[in-house]
Chain A
């Protein structure tokens, strides 16, 4: 038995009411292949990064299951033949323990926060330089106040990050 994760893309041409039916149909196929479904997460309708068969939208769904390697051939064939499914990606995934998952989630959140912080810093660094000529024309007092405000905001941001 191996743990698998599959992401599949249902064509955006399918009306939203029929998507749930397709999802349950695929869950049936997985069950028929002798696999045990452990997770099903509909991702909803999204715009694709590029058009596939002139279709710009699609419904993403993530499923996780435990299955024997040989039993997946039939499932793959069914998925490739299904007209409503534009793409699917089947990968084997190491099952993570609850503790590992929690640690990963925390790490991911920290990384995301750090990256956004970097972005905002870069953005704030750029903004005054773009708007600076205008400020100089109006009044010097305004620019001083705005700089102080910026410092305060930066301090607040830094404080909140340390706490979280």
Chain B
């Protein structure tokens, strides 16, 4: 028996739509949108970011964490 799932919103890559080529690690207000409440990087299946931008995003988040712009763990 197939279970009925709730209708999902159509997902799209925020960076592709905005035509953003490079993701800046210093722009942490944007990066924080792609981290969970546990300060983990949100997976692609949830955020809808494309593979190319997810790689850049992960790199940027890790750089921002090193420079104490973003936390490694929640307070």
**Residues of chain A at the chain B interface (Cβ within 8 Å):** 7, 9, 48-50, 52, 58, 60, 62, 87, 89, 91, 94, 103-104, 107-108, 110-112, 114-115
Interface hub of A49, A50, A94, A114 (most chain B Cβ within 10 A): A49
Known: A7-B26, A111-B14, A112-B30. A87 touches B20 (CB 8 A): no
Which of A9, A50, A62, A91 counts the most chain B CB atoms within 10 A? A50
| Complex interface: chain B residues within 8 A of A94 (CB) | 22
A104 B67 Cβ-Cβ under 8 A: no
CB-CB nearest in chain A for B21: A104
* Contact present for A107 and B19 (CB under 8 Å): yes
Q: Does B2 contact A (CB under 8 A)?
A: no
The answer on a CB contact under 8 Å between B67 and A108 is no
User: Per-position contact with A for B11-36: 1 when CB-CB < 8 Å, else 0?
Assistant: 00011011111100111001001000
Question: Is A89 a contact of B66 with CB atoms below 8 Å?
Answer: yes
